[in-house]
Amino acid sequence: MIHSKLISNGQFNEAFDFEIPTGLELATMEQSHSDVFLEIDEPGDYQADALITREKKLTLIVKTADCMPVLISDEEKVGVIHIGWKGLENNIFYKTISKFNLSKLKISIGPHAQECCYEVKKDLETKFKKQCCTYNNIIYLNLSKEIEEFCEKNIIDLEIIDKCTIEDKKYNSYRRDKTNNRQWSFLWI
């Protein structure tokens, strides 16, 4: 388990290091690579790719394999975002943070498919020119690059856990193993 050093009560779990916080109510998502975010105040399973809450003791959960688990906080509320290339394309990050106080925003990005291993085809390079690079005629996508640049430009605290889910077998990876298993990342106030 990796605890965020930037956001209190934020944690990223490895595939087999799974511990649900006790004494808290859970809010999970049926994620579909959409741009849907919800502000919630009670536990449940929601159709969304991002959740936001102000409720203490309500634990938000984002499930990922190679997509980015993003935890966000502005001291009054917290949120979790599931971001893959479709989420980047749909601007789920910007839509979600529009509900936060940017001057107090903190962002923590957990283990995900890193640029070193995230091979994509030409169509994605066309969509994400700034986030792609080519090595030995293979195109790679950097999922976190746009968020990094946004945080630098807007002077927002950012933490990126430098673990690649494709490369590190401690993590579930759909691209590596074609598994439907996921890591669960947690955040609560």
Query: How far is it between the farthest Cα atoms of the chain?
Result: 51
* Tens-place pLDDT, residues 113-133: 999 999 999 999 999 999 999
* Tens-place pLDDT, residues 30-78: 999 999 999 999 999 999 999 999 999 899 999 999 999 999 999 999 9
**What span, in angstroms and rounded, lies between the C-alpha atoms of 78 and 187?**
7
**What span, in angstroms and rounded, lies between the C-alpha atoms of 51 and 59?**
10
Average pLDDT over residues 119-148: 93
3 state SS of 117: coil
pLDDT band at 18; cut points 50, 70, 90: low
pLDDT band at 17; cut points 50, 70, 90: low
- Collect all residues with Cβ–Cβ distance below 8 Å to 41 and sequence separation of at least 6: 53, 54, 55, 58
Question: Which residues face 120 on adjacent strands?
Answer: 139
Per DSSP, 112 falls in state B
Q: Domains (ranges, CATH) in the chain? A: 2-113+155-187 (3.60.140.10)
For the chain, what is the mean pLDDT? 93
